[in-house]
Amino acid sequence: LSGLRLSGDRPQFSYRQSSDEPFKSYTYKQVFEIIKEIGSGVVSIGFKPSSETFIGIYSSTS
C-alpha cells in the first residue's frame, strides 16, 4: 500500500498487445481497484478471508 500512497497516479506497469502497438499503462490506483475487484469476486464465490487460505492467479506473460 505504500506504493499506492506514494505514487497513486503514476504508472505501476505498462504492457502492449503486440510489438507494433503502443504501450498502455496502469497506475497504482487502477491496479489497486482491480485487486479489490478480484478479491471481492473470490469472496463472493464462497472463499473467506483468512491467513490460511492461498489462491494463485496465473496468466500468460507473452
| Span 5-54, pLDDT tens digits | 889 889 998 999 889 999 999 999 999 999 999 989 988 998 887 778 78
pLDDT at 2 exceeding the cut of 70: yes
Q: What is the rounded distance in angstroms from the CA atom of residue 59 to the CA atom of residue 62? A: 9
What are the structural domain ranges in the chain? 2-44
